[in-house]
Chain A
Amino acid sequence: MQFWVNQAFNGISYAALLFLVGGGLTLIFGVMKIVNIAHGSFYLLGGYLGVALFAATGNFYVALAAAAAAVAVGGMAMERVFLRAVEGDDLRQMLLTMGIALFVQDLCLVVWGGDPFNLRGPEYFGRSVHLAGFSFPILRLFMIAAAVLLFVVLWWFQERTRAGAMVRAAVDNSEMTEALGINVPLLRMAVFGLGALLAAFGGVVGSAFMGIYPGLDFEILPYAFVVVIVGGMGSLTGALVAAVLLGLLDNFGKALFPEISYFTLFAPMGIVLALRPSGLFGRG
């Protein structure tokens, strides 16, 4: 019992992290229709900036907000300067994001070196809540709460606000949306920034959860892609469901079959693709 509850809780808290990374990627994919290989770099950059800002300010929440905002601005600049120049060509966009990902990777190596960092966070992150004989670390509870809150806010934004309606229109038919007088390029830039923000948020939280080190950008990327593929590209709800599914599978897989645990990532993707190529919540 202890084992199952602990693993399930760990899986859900991991899912929270996966949702932050995959949710940002799915937003970017929906509106921009690009394979963004630099998405893991936003995570990495967010994590390193979070560690540095926490060391400078001593306030976790300030560090979190500032790191996420900084990466969002960087993402928007990347969209405006580079991606817009090669709009509409999948392969070129992909190569461009790959180039930027490599650049960020090497930049982080130059600035922060090869050693791993851990963000300590506020003192209470180290404590646990005890309930019915089980203990739940506060850091993990915070991750879950943050992911749920962000999901609700994003869902409300997308489904209930005028700006959200514009985004949905641009997802379905960007040319028609533009013809209606909506500034789609601006929309794209904003959504790209939002996706980067979510990934960086995940990076800061993740660096408190499992540390931050060189190579993590490309390590986290397959998870983000699989969340998007399983959930359905462009669907926030899909990303949430897929993140929970993968978080649980990955955790139980690692605990039960450590050797082939990557298969827990590959198998659901294969099954979903075989049965429903557009993903669980994707519109095919």
Chain B
Amino acid sequence: MASRSRRAGIALALAGGAGLVLLVVLPPSLPTYVVIVLTECLIYAVAAGSLDLLIGYTGLASLGHAAFFTVGAYTTAIMATRSGASFALALGASVVLAAVASAVIGVLALRASGLYFMMITLSVAMCAWGLAYRWVSLTGGDTGIVGIPRPRLHLAWLTGSGLEFYYATLALFVVCLALYLLIVASPFGKTLVGIRDAESRMRVLGFNTWLHKYLAIVIAGAFAGLAGSLYAYYNGFVGPNAVDLGHSMQFVLMVILGGPGTLVGPLIGAFMVTILEKAVSVFTERWVMVLAGVYVVTALWAPRGLLGLLGPARR
């Protein structure tokens, strides 16, 4: 059994590596539109991966992840349009502010567990939506913030601005992925899994489980902020819809659809949901119907995600 799961793990790592190579090599020969879609996939993959740290590894079903994503997006949008901040500065500030926001929310949310935790994070996200919608002087209200310029990266050997931003996103994606893998493999990550499976036992063993969960929330929030910052640059526009309920749920869907607690799964989930949306929208206006179907099918038949269906589920 152990060797089988190890073999599955190796196969997964090989497939992931191959996918990564394709993501590096292919884009220059792809149509611009496809590169744009891939950029979006990568951004959502960063967000979904950070949420998997919570849902899959810590067992905290956070339904409000879009709130931190949006803190990052608005921070970048405001800094880039109103003070002309540089890419690095806006990105850094977004990460820090998202981490601060999740540090505040984390204190509240961790007062509860299980279903209560889900409801609280959900309400927090919806309150964040309300703030984005109504705090007009800061967020621009319903119109949001428009005209966020793409960062100038001065990568002269890349022709076309779409490619330049794509490779910047890809580089950050790889860094995030490496950090996720490091976190998961570290003693800290192992402790998180222990808390997920048997929290009271971990507490008896002397681990400060509250602090571990809290740090997991802050770390995941910071990465979501990074994804949000990239999203602001990618989209050129940030509005309240970035933090609406559907958005938060979509992150959860990506994680569950791909396979929670596998890290690779949620990345695949992010790619699938994003590409499916673009593909379906070509044929019909009823994307929401299709998405509803994906939710129901995932819930009924693939609770451990696609990777769970294939075999190497780790629970």
Contact = CB atoms under 8 A, between A and B. Distances in A.
B82 interface: no
Contacts of A85: 300
A225 B245 CA distance: 13
A98 B249 contact: yes
Interface string B106-120: 001001101110111
B253 A95 contact: yes
Given A96-B299, A222-B130, A259-B136, A105 B118 contact: no
Interface string B231-273: 0000000000000111001001100100000000000000000
A91 B256 contact: yes
Interface in B82-114: 108, 111-112, 114
Given A37-B245, A90-B118, A95 B295 contact: yes
B220 to A, nearest CB: 16
B188 interface: no
Interface string A32-62: 0111010000000000000000000000000
B134 A262 contact: yes
A218 interface: yes
A259 B299 contact: no
Contacts of A92: 256, 299-300, 303
B123 interface: yes
B36 interface: no
Contact of B292 (A100, A222, A266): A100
Interface string B133-144: 111110000000
Contacts of A33: 115
A90 B256 contact: no
A225 B122 contact: yes
B303 A94 contact: no
Contacts of B45: none
A96 B302 CA distance: 12
Interface of B: 55, 61, 63, 108, 111-112, 114-116, 118-120, 122-124, 126-127, 129-131, 133-137, 244-246, 249, 252-253, 256, 286, 288-289, 291-296, 298-300, 303
17 contacts: A35-B63, A35-B119, A37-B249, A92-B256, A95-B298, A96-B295, A99-B291, A99-B294, A99-B296, A105-B288, A218-B245, A222-B129, A229-B119, A259-B135, A262-B127, A262-B131, A262-B133
